[in-house]
Structure 1
Amino acid sequence: MEYRLKINEETFPVELENDGEEKIKAVIGEKKFDVSFSAVNDHQLHLVINGQRINAYVGDQNDGKIIMIRGKSYFVQDAERVEQTKTRKKGPGSSPSEVTPPMPAVVIAVSVVEGDSVKKGQTVVIVSAMKMETTLNAPFDGTVKKVNVAEGDKVMPGDILVDIEKTEIKEAVSSVL
């Protein structure tokens, strides 16, 4: 089967062929891979790619998946779905307002409190998983509506750690009222 995946803002043609139970052959761009895999749990995979053993952590993030391999994060999306979404007109509130972890982790720092103004890219929470720290940033300029975690909390992908109200939405509502 042929796909187009967007990985960290770059689009790649991907061809996958089932090669038996828990095995696939993959062609990404011009590179070929023999992959076997087994799920450890809902968010962790053991992979063997061209003979090399790798652990991968997978989590839901907005309209794609965050995949962490060897301390590096990859945001993966279906490129065709992204293009369809871009062609639709977006209204207020269509951007994600929640900060969630990419994998099971422990919160090691919370950098904001309710009511704080944040800028896009500003650190809001730092989590740690398997001795790797991941910084979770504000997806846009806004105001922290709610902080749902504290240092030491165990969190999973999909857990809403911080809810942020986008600045332009807040201004639009204020101008109407």
Structure 2
Amino acid sequence: MKILAKNGKHHEEIKVIKREGPMLQVSIGNREYSLDVEKVEDGVYSVLHNGTSHNMEIIKSEKKHFYAVNTQYQSFNIEIAPAGSLKGDKKRQGDKNEQILAPIPGKVISIKATPGDVVKEGQTIVVLSAMKMENELKSPIDGIVSKIHVKEDAVVKENSVLVDVKAVD
């Protein structure tokens, strides 16, 4: 089974090579991984890779194929679907704006940019506290912060638009 996982502009093809109980052999792009995956509770998984445990919460969005993923160190949105079925598999053209959305409900702890700031892809823009974890929400592109929709200490709902970033040509 092949699926495509997309996070902003970054996407990888994932293929399950072999599955025996909780043991998975997968390829992600051109790399292979042996994983021991256990479901801890509904939507929460423990993934053991090379002797290190990684816990992750996966929350299905109202939009088809979209999920919010929370780990101990980061949160991000991801689109997962059978390979070839996602909109925008090919490089988007003409879309010069991106939005940073709240992956889960939470409280805005800090805003690390102001309108007009030049930001790099992967730069932390907002820190959101949710489920006793601080989640760094990062710019999906190199660009300029065009609008900030929230203030510090604001409580936001899942998928709330937090920040608009305009791409730099």
How many correspondences in the alignment? 135
Deviation at 1:53, TM superposition (A): 3.1
Alignment of 1:57-68 (within 5 A): 58=59, 60=61, 64-68=66-70
Deviation at 1:79, TM superposition (A): 4.2
Residues 91/4 of structure 1: CA separation in 2 closer, same or farther (3 Å cut): closer
* 3-state secondary structure, aligned to 2:150: coil
Deviation at 1:85, TM superposition (A): 3.0
Match status 1:130 vs 2:131: yes
Match status 1:6 vs 2:5: yes
Q: Distance in 1 between matches of 2:69 and 2:161?
A: 18
Unaligned runs of 5+ in 2: 23-36, 45-56
Q: Select 2:89's aligned residue among 82, 86, 91.
A: 86
Contact 1:147 1:161 in 2 (8 A): yes
Question: Which residue number in structure 2 is paired with residue 32 of structure 1?
Answer: 21
Q: Distance in 1 between matches of 2:39 and 2:146?
A: 47
Q: Distance in 1 between matches of 2:58 and 2:142?
A: 28
Structure that is richer in helix per residue: 1
RMSD: 3.3
Deviations 1:121-151 (A, max 9, x none): 1110000112101101111111111001111
Q: Output the TM-score relative to the length of structure 2.
A: 0.63
Q: Output the TM-score relative to the length of structure 1.
A: 0.61
Structure that is richer in strand per residue: 2
Q: Distance in 1 between matches of 2:74 and 2:20?
A: 20
Question: Which residue number in structure 2 is paired with residue 115 of structure 1?
Answer: 116
* 3-state secondary structure, aligned to 1:98: strand
Residues 130/50 of structure 1: CA separation in 2 closer, same or farther (3 Å cut): closer
Q: Distance in 2 between matches of 1:64 and 1:146?
A: 24
Residues 78/164 of structure 1: CA separation in 2 closer, same or farther (3 Å cut): same
* Structure number, greater radius of gyration: 1
Question: Which residue number in structure 2 is paired with residue 146 of structure 1?
Answer: 147
* 3-state secondary structure, aligned to 2:135: strand
Contact 2:3 2:13 in 1 (8 A): no
Deviations 1:46-85 (A, max 9, x none): xxx9674354452649x73222266665735114246663
Aligned identity (percent) is: 27
